């Protein structure tokens, strides 16, 4: 919880508890108040109060009773999947993907927009997002008023409170007021964060980090970073910048990075870095699709499956860089699980995972390594959209807290768009 912990008020704690209870209901539906108390460590009285609030909000519903070994039958509650819709937006360097979810976080509609190189000006990106959000709402046939919020993930450093994308190295964005620009087109509450946070939350709620105390979610896309779920919660750092592991130095005086430094992890294991690994090994390789990251990574995956020696060597070289850098995370954080997430990890899959495990074993200290499992993300859909949608859910629960405790409503993270 980072800096938030310092200024936590009773209202924040109540919001966090409401969030935790809803998260457990989503994971366990249908479930009883007794089971929720056991799962969350909260008292039965507290759980009963929070369940009552969620029932009032129509986010959950009563669904009958279960026998309790001769005792009084226990009332069961479940997520009311029709109780509202959430939208998750994954703005990546090469595409915009938008998914609309019900309250049980099932995908109801999806829209994709490709972004060509050179299409990365803020107003172009905003245009793509607005079109895709309009498309999913229309496809799902959801009334606008039922959309509880839109979570937006954008690469780089973001200020969640002001909605500003402070720095996106791959696009050279500086201090772009992204949420204000989006609010001109989208009339739902908007919440901003980055893909490291989104992937970590998705794994924490629905993936390989569920029920784990300390997890690292390694995000391998065009950009590279680590989402940190420490002590069962998201670790943001004091200015929401924790996890910028992609810009730690792997090779002293190595390749030039967009961030201005040399030898960053990202320049060896991000999609453009992998393309460079291939080009340095075999400049004329037919696997190389200049200017097209997706096509090149796809070709490498097919090449490995067909035992193409160049593809095998490139994936092995990439895994050696990646494994050495992951060993740093293992030694530093002693996590229970390291999850390889995002599109490059999903495309290269098991062969990459296998090589990474071997390299981490060579570089990490024995004790933390023995306690760490390294896995591919088990989330079958886009984890960034899923995580972004949970930010919207979190925001909706927070704004309820603010409505109930108006005198304390100082730190609004959400914003409501002007009426259209």
End-to-end CA distance of the chain: 35
- CB-nearer residue toward Zn ion: 32 or 170: 170
- CB-nearer residue toward Zn ion: 196 or 337: 196
Give me the least distance between CB of 224 and Zn ion, in Å please.
9
Give me the least distance between CB of 159 and Zn ion, in Å please.
20
φ/ψ of 310, rounded to 5, equals -65, -45
Tokens of 99: 């998914």
- CB-nearer residue toward Zn ion: 131 or 259: 259
- CB-nearer residue toward Zn ion: 230 or 257: 257
- Name beta bridge partners: 356: none
- CB-nearer residue toward Zn ion: 256 or 332: 256
Give me the least distance between CB of 82 and Zn ion, in Å please.
45
Give me the least distance between CB of 322 and Zn ion, in Å please.
15
* Beta-strand relationship, 164-168 and 157-159: antiparallel
Interface positions with Zn ion (CB under 5 A): 247, 257, 259, 261, 264
Give me the least distance between CB of 11 and Zn ion, in Å please.
38
Give me the least distance between CB of 262 and Zn ion, in Å please.
8
Helix (H) or strand (E) run with residue 316 in it: helix 309-333
Q: What is the dihedral of CA 369, 372, 373, 376, to 10 degrees?
A: -90
Q: Where are the alpha helices (DSSP H) in 75-121?
A: none
Give me the least distance between CB of 223 and Zn ion, in Å please.
9
- DSSP structural state of residue 4: G
Q: Evaluate whether 54 touches 22 at the Cβ level (below 8 Å).
A: yes
Q: How crowded is residue 197: how many other Cβ atoms within 10 Å of its Cβ?
A: 31
- CB-nearer residue toward Zn ion: 261 or 347: 261
Q: Evaluate whether 416 touches 189 at the Cβ level (below 8 Å).
A: yes
- CB-nearer residue toward Zn ion: 19 or 171: 171
Q: Residue holding tokens 């800096």?
A: 3
- As a 3-state breakdown, the chain gives helix, strand, coil percent values, each rounded to 5, of 45, 20, 30
């Amino acid at each position: 919880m980072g800096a938030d912990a310092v200024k936590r008020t009773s209202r924040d704690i109540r919001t966090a508890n409401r969030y935790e209870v809803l998260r457990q209901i989503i994971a366990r539906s249908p479930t009883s108040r007794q089971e929720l108390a056991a799962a969350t460590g909260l008292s039965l009285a507290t759980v009963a109060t929070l369940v009552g609030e969620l029932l009032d909000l129509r986010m959950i519903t009563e669904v009958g009773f279960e026998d309790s070994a001769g005792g009084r039958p226990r009332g069961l509650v479940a997520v009311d999947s029709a109780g509202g819709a959430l939208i998750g937006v994954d703005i990546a360097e090469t595409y915009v993907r938008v998914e609309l979810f019900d309250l049980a976080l099932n995908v109801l509609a999806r829209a994709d927009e490709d972004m060509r190189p050179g299409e990365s000006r803020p107003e172009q990106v905003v245009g793509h997002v607005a079109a895709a959000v309009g498309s999913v709402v229309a496809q799902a046939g959801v009334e606008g008023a039922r959309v509880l919020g839109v979570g937006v993930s954008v690469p780089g450093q973001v200020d969640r409170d002001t909605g500003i994308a402070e720095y996106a190295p791959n696009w050279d964005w500086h201090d772009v007021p992204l949420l204000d620009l989006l609010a001109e087109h989208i009339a739902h509450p908007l919440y901003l964060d980055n893909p490291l946070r989104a992937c970590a939350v998705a794994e924490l709620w629905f993936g390989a980090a569920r029920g784990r105390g300390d997890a690292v979610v390694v995000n391998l896309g065009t950009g590279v970073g680590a989402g940190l779920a420490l002590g069962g919660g998201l670790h943001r750092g004091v200015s929401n910048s924790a996890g910028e592991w992609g810009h730690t130095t792997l090779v002293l005086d190595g390749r030039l990075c967009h961030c201005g430094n040399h030898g960053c992890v990202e320049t060896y294991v991000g999609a453009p870095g992998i393309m460079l690994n291939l080009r340095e090994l075999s400049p004329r390789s037919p696997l190389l699709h200049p200017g097209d990251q997706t096509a090149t990574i796809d070709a490498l995956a097919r090449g490995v499956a067909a035992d193409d020696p160049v593809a095998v060597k490139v994936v092995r070289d990439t895994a050696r860089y990646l494994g050495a850098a992951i060993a740093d995370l293992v030694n530093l954080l002693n996590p229970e699980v390291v999850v390889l997430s995002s599109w490059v990890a999903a495309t290269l899959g098991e062969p990459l995972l296998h090589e990474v495990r071997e390299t981490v074993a060579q570089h990490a200290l024995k004790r933390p390594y023995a306690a760490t499992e390294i896995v591919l993300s088990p989330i079958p859909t886009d984890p960034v959209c899923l995580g972004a949608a949970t930010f919207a859910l979190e925001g909706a629960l927070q704004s309820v807290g603010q409505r109930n405790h108006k005198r304390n409503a100082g730190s609004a993270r959400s914003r409501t768009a002007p009426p259209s």
